[in-house]
Chains A and B, each alone.
Chain A
Amino acid sequence: MTRTAPLDLVAADDLFSDEERAIRDTVRKFCADRIRPHLAEWFEKGELPARDLAREMGELGLLGMHLQGYGAAGTNAVSYGLACHELEAADSGLRSLVSVQGSLAMYAIYAYGSEEQKNEWLPRMVTGEAVGCFGLTEADFGSNPGGMRTNAKKDGSDWVLNGTKMWITNGSIADVAVVWARTDEGIRGFVVPTTVKGFTANTVPGKLSLRASVTSELVLEDVRLPADAVLPHSKGLASPLGCLNEARFGIVFGSLGAARDCLETAIAYASDREVFDKPLSAYQLTQAKLAEMALELGKGMLLAVRIGRLKDAGTLKPEQVSMGKLNNVRVALRIAREARTILGANGITLEYPVMRHANNLESVLTYEGTSEVHLLVIGQALTGVGAFR
C-alpha cells in the first residue's frame, strides 16, 4: 500500500509558492550537508562554531532575510517561516542563532535605528561578518522585563550604562549588543559594540537544553557610549516587544520543524524495530501515537501558514502570534516526548535527534514569552483586561 506522506497529512505543501518551496528546499539541503552531521557532537560538547556558521548562513541569505534593503534577501514572511522550520528540524539552537541575529538584533536596528546605525551594522550582519545579540532579560526580570534594573544615565552628551543581562543568546560571540536600559525617558535601546570598555560577556554553564547555542550573561560596568548610541526611534517597552513579535513568528514555524524531525524518526524507527516478533509500527498503540502526532503537526502547520499569510498581508496581531507560538511549541514538545517513548532506551541517546529536540523545546517554551505569558496575552485580547499582575 502506498503511504500518505505522514509528515504532511494536510498537504500544506500546496499552500506554498514555487519560490517559497525553493527557499525551504535550499535550507533543508544546507542543513543536511553542513549542520546535521555535526549536531550530536556540538550538543554533547555544548559548543557551536557560531561565527563560521553565521558566515555560511549569510551567504545563503538567511540572516535578516525578511528585511528590505541593506543587502538583505528581502523575502516574504512565509519564506522566513519555512527557513526557520528547516533550521529547527536540524536543531533549535541553529534557529535561535538566526532568530536572534535577524529578528531581534537586526530588526531592532532596522526598526528603531538611525540611518547611520543601519548603514554601519546591517550590511555586515546580513553577511554574518558581524554577529549581534539582544539583551532584554535580566536574572530577576524575565517575563516582566519592564522591571529591569539596567540603566543608562546622561553624562554631558554621553550615555553611561550599568547593569547585568542574563540568558542572552549569542552574547559571548557577538560584535554588537542591542541592550535595553531604563532612562529618564523610559526604556530605550542602545547599540553597544562589544569591544567597548566595561562590557563583558560570560557563557552560562551547565545547560541541559539548547546546548548547540551560545547563551551568556552580559555585564555592563560604567559603559560609556556617545550620544548617537541610542536607538533614536525606540520608546518604551513596546520597542523590544515589537522585536519579540518578529522572533516569535519564526518559532511558530520553527518549533514544528523539530516536531517533524521527531515524527519522521519515530516512524522510521517503529518500522524497523521488532518487539514481540513483529514491527513496532504494526501495534495499535504505536499507530495511535503516530496518528496523534501527525494530526497535531498538520493542524499546527495550517495555523503557521495562516499566521504567515496574515503577516505578509500586514494585518497580523500580537495575540495571533501568541496563539501560534503557544500552540505550536506546546504540540512540538508533546510530539518530541511521545516520539521518545517509541524509541525506547535508544531514544535517550544522541544517536537519535529526539531527546535533543525535546530538551531544546523546553527552552523554546520559555523564551520569547513563556506559555503562561501567551495565555495571558490571548486572555487580555479576549476580555480587554490585563491579568499579568
Chain B
Amino acid sequence: MPNIVVLVKQVPDTYSERKLASADHTLDRASADAVLDEINERAVEEALQIKEAQGGEVTVLTVGPERATDAIRKALSMGADKAVHVSDESLHGADIIQTAKVLAKAIGTVEGYDLIIAGNESTDGVGGAIPAMLAELLGLPQLTHARKVEIDGTSVKVERETDAGRTFLEAALPAVISVGEKINDPRYPSFKGIMAAKKKPVTTLTIADLGIDASEVGLANAASQVLESAPKPPRAAGQQITDEGDGGSKIAEYLVSQKLI
C-alpha cells in the first residue's frame, strides 16, 4: 500500500495575463487568477490511480503563499487524503534551490513515504529542476518525464519520454518521479469530493517548523537573480502559399524545414 507524496504548485492561470512585479521581477501574484498547475493535476491523478488500484495514502505538499490553499483544496477535492502547506513570508523570491531544500525538509514530515510524484516542469517558472534537485537532496533515485508509471511493493518502473525516443527505467522505492503531459487525463473533482475536501487535514508549516533559518532563504539569498524581463515579441505574420498545383509539396517542404515531419 504505497504512501505517495505529490508536489503541487499554484500558478497564474494561463488564460489570464501574467506579469512580473516591476519592483523585484518576482511573480505578480495579484495580477492573475491562481490555479493548481495543470501538470500537477496530472501528478495528483497518477497518485490517485495508484491508490485506487493498490490502496495507500496520498499527501499533497505545496510551498507557497497563503492563497495556495486553493490549489491544495483542488487536489484534495480530486481525492487526495491530506496536505502539507509550507507558507512563510520569508520565502518570497525563493529560487529553485531554496524551494527544493524546503520541499526536502517538508517531505521529511511525511512518515514512511514510498513515492514522490512531481510535474516535470511548472507552467510559470518552467525551471524543470525541482524533481532532480529534490532527489539529490533526499538521496533518492529520480525517474523524470514519465509517460507511464507502474509500481509494485518495492520498485517503480517508468516509461520516460525524450526527444529521441523512449527509455524504460526501474528503481527501488522510495523514489522521485516526475510526470509529463501524456501521463493521463486528470479527473474533474466530483461534487462529493469537493464537499469532503474541506474536512481533510491540512498541516501548515513555517520554515522555522522545518528547522530552516530565514536568513538562508528569500530573494536576498537566492543563487540566481532575474535582472530583466521583456514580453515576447509579437508573432510574425503568417506566410501565405498560393496553390499553383504544387501546394501540397510546398506545405510538405515547410513542415520538413520545421522538422515537423
Contacts and interface: CB of A to CB of B under 8 A. Distances in A.
Interface string B187-220: 0111110110110000000000000000000000
Contact of A19 (B74, B188, B190, B198): B198
B190 A60 contact: yes
A44 interface: no
A74 interface: yes
Interface string B24-63: 0000000000000000000000000000000000000000
Q: Which of B74, B190, B198 has the largest count of A CB atoms less than 10 A from its CB?
A: B190
A65 B188 contact: no
Given A18-B73, A22-B73, A22-B77, A65 B190 contact: no
A30 B194 CA distance: 15
Contacts of A61: 190-192
Contact of A60 (B70, B191, B197): B191
Contacts of A79: 191
B30 to A, nearest CB: 13
A62 B188 CA distance: 12
Interface residues on A, range: 10 to 19
A60 B74 CA distance: 14
B44 to A, nearest CB: 15
A204 B77 CA distance: 41
A22 B190 contact: no
B194 A23 contact: yes
A348 B191 CA distance: 36
A75 interface: yes
B194 A26 contact: yes
Contacts of A74: 192, 195
Q: Which of A29, A59, A60 has the largest count of B CB atoms less than 10 A from its CB?
A: A60
B195 A73 contact: yes
A30 B188 contact: yes
Nearest to B190: A61
B38 to A, nearest CB: 11
A60 B189 CA distance: 7
Contacts of B192: 61, 73-74
A29 B188 contact: yes
Interface string A35-71: 0000000000000000000000001111001000000
A75 to B, nearest CB: 6
A74 B192 CA distance: 8
Contacts of A18: 70, 73, 198
B73 A73 contact: no
A107 B163 CA distance: 55
B261 to A, nearest CB: 26
A111 to B, nearest CB: 21
Nearest to B69: A18
Contacts of A22: 73-74, 77, 189, 194, 197
Interface in A106-158: none
B94 to A, nearest CB: 27
Interface string B77-120: 10000000000000000000000000000000000000000000
A62 B195 CA distance: 13
Contact of A23 (B70, B73, B191): B191
A26 B189 contact: yes
A60 B188 contact: yes
Interface string A5-36: 00000000000001100110010011000000
A60 B192 CA distance: 8
Q: Which of B74, B190, B191, B195 has the largest count of A CB atoms less than 10 A from its CB?
A: B191
B188 A75 contact: no
Nearest to A59: B190
A75 B196 CA distance: 11
Contacts of A59: 188, 190
A353 B217 CA distance: 51
A62 B73 contact: no
Q: Which of B73, B74, B194, B195 has the largest count of A CB atoms less than 10 A from its CB?
A: B194
Interface string B161-202: 000000000000000000000000000111110110110000
B195 A75 contact: yes
A139 B142 CA distance: 69
B5 to A, nearest CB: 23
Contacts of B70: 18
B73 A75 contact: no
Contacts of B189: 22, 26
Nearest to A76: B195
A80 B157 CA distance: 43
Contacts of A29: 188
Contacts of A62: 191
B191 A75 contact: yes
B255 to A, nearest CB: 26
A62 B194 CA distance: 12
21 contacts: A18-B70, A18-B198, A19-B194, A22-B73, A22-B74, A22-B194, A23-B191, A26-B188, A26-B191, A26-B194, A29-B188, A30-B188, A59-B188, A59-B190, A60-B190, A60-B191, A61-B192, A65-B191, A73-B192, A75-B191, A79-B191
Top 4 A-B pairs, shortest CB-CB distance: A61-B191, A73-B191, A61-B190, A22-B194
Given A19-B194, A26-B194, 11 more contacts: A18-B198, A22-B74, A22-B189, A22-B194, A22-B197, A23-B194, A26-B189, A61-B192, A73-B192, A75-B191, A79-B191
Interface of B: 70, 73-74, 77, 188-192, 194-195, 197-198
